[in-house]
Amino acid sequence: MGVFDKLLKDGESLFKNEIALDFSFIPKLIPYRENEQFRIAGAIRPLFNSRNGQNIIIVGKQGIGKTVACRHVLQELEEKTDEIVPIYVNCWQNNTSFKIILSICEQVEFKFTQNKRTDELFTIAAKILNKKAAVFVFDEIDKAEDFDFLYTLLEDIYRKTIILITNHPEFITTMDSRIRSRLVPEVIDFKPYAKEELKGILKQRIEYAFFDDVIEQDAFNMIVEKAFELKDVRQGLFMLKEAGRAAENRASRRIEVKDAENAVAKMGNTEVKEEANGEEETKRIMDAIKNNSGEKIGDIFKQYQGKGGLLNYKAFNRKIKKLADERYIKTELISGGSDGRTTIIKKGEKKLTEF
């Protein structure tokens, strides 16, 4: 190969579909979680026969497919029937009963929510949902500030399955006993992936994201090793994207070991990064958004890192959610072509200078 063959031409990219490496992308298949998805489906099944469903609590560490497995089951449910309404709420972004009912109203396409109280909105939603059955997924449930909404749903919706997702199962003890005694959930414990499974998942994403044979085997293995050490698929996806960009930056047609090394070095010691100085990091995030409003979350993270940001993606994501709650920024889920979705971040209602 001639020396110029290695260089990328203008506008040429190693990425076939970079969105496939975004954290909010939902792939068509969720391998290695078949059993878990089957159990979730089993809890929903009675709803098909006009009976009440089983409730579930999903527990497990970060980045191991809890959210994506649930969203996938909801997607399949939506394709299968119109008689069971799927509702998904992230309780970090919607952390009060009021915000949660607003999100539910939006999902059942009830638009006249202005000037209505929480209880009025629940009555309206119950009326709509009780014509059918419903599956509710409340993700990051431990971040909800109150659980009144759960009590109301348990009491007022006749046929339902409620699924709570958390990586802090101990929060359950903080819930009111009136709720616990009505919920009686089955617990599904998501275990971390084995190395071969992690490898399979990342390989699948590579096929979505990159053109054929772009990544060298050793480079890929290095990323798999690090992702396995961190026990986190999300970090693996992040490293793949970083390595791809590092290769592009040096105009290489292939992702080589040095690119993977670059990406791995960015992960560092994640425990320490989680504890980085909060305010300083928030300022850096706001700075990154100021100049890049409307960009994808992954790109903003990259900008943030470029400014010396210390947080890992998970902690960064948490801050983003908090900033969105406080309306400094807006987040918007967009469709990323035929096979996935991602989040776009924009400036919010409050001025960045208030920061």
Ligand X SMILES: Nc1ncnc2c1ncn2[C@@H]1O[C@H](COP(=O)(O)OP(=O)(O)OP(=O)(O)O)[C@@H](O)[C@H]1O
Contact residues toward ligand X (CB under 6 A) are 23, 25, 27, 30-33, 60, 62-68, 167, 201, 233-234, 237, 314
- Comparing CB distances to ligand X, the nearer of 122 and 313 is 313
296 binds, among Mg ion, ligand X, none (CB under 5 to 8 A by kind): none
Provide, rounded to whole angstroms, the least separation between the CB of residue 211 and ligand X. Answer: 20
- Comparing CB distances to ligand X, the nearer of 62 and 292 is 62
- Comparing CB distances to ligand X, the nearer of 204 and 292 is 204
CA angle, 273 then 277 then 280, to 5°: 115
Provide, rounded to whole angstroms, the least separation between the CB of residue 105 and ligand X. Answer: 24
Provide, rounded to whole angstroms, the least separation between the CB of residue 109 and Mg ion. Answer: 25
Provide, rounded to whole angstroms, the least separation between the CB of residue 69 and Mg ion. Answer: 10
The letter for the amino acid at 19 is: I
Provide, rounded to whole angstroms, the least separation between the CB of residue 65 and ligand X. Answer: 3
Pairing of strands 295-296, 133-139: unpaired
Provide, rounded to whole angstroms, the least separation between the CB of residue 259 and ligand X. Answer: 21
Provide, rounded to whole angstroms, the least separation between the CB of residue 314 and Mg ion. Answer: 10
3-state secondary structure of 220: helix
237 binds, among Mg ion, ligand X, none (CB under 5 to 8 A by kind): ligand X
- Comparing CB distances to ligand X, the nearer of 62 and 118 is 62
233 binds, among Mg ion, ligand X, none (CB under 5 to 8 A by kind): ligand X
- Comparing CB distances to Mg ion, the nearer of 164 and 267 is 164
Cα atoms in the Cβ-side hemisphere of radius 13 Å centred on 210: 24
Residue for token pair 């339902």: 160
201 binds, among ligand X, Mg ion, none (CB under 5 to 8 A by kind): ligand X
- Residue whose CB is nearest to ligand X in the complex, by number: 65
What DSSP character marks residue 352? G
Q: Are 60 and 190 in contact (CB under 8 A)?
A: yes
What DSSP character marks residue 331? E
Binding mask 26-65 for Mg ion (x = CB under 5 A): ----------------------------------------
- Comparing CB distances to ligand X, the nearer of 64 and 188 is 64
- Residue whose CB is nearest to Mg ion in the complex, by number: 67
Q: What is the DSSP string of 54-81?
A: --EEEE--TTSSHHHHHHHHHHHHHHH-
| Single residue of 67, 235, 305, 342 touching Mg ion by CB under 5 A | 67
- Comparing CB distances to Mg ion, the nearer of 103 and 293 is 103
**How far apart are the C-alpha atoms of 92 and 349, rounded to whole Å?**
19
> CB neighbours of 201 closer than 8 A, spacing ≥ 6?
31, 32, 193, 233, 236
Which residues form the interface with Mg ion (CB under 5 A)? 67
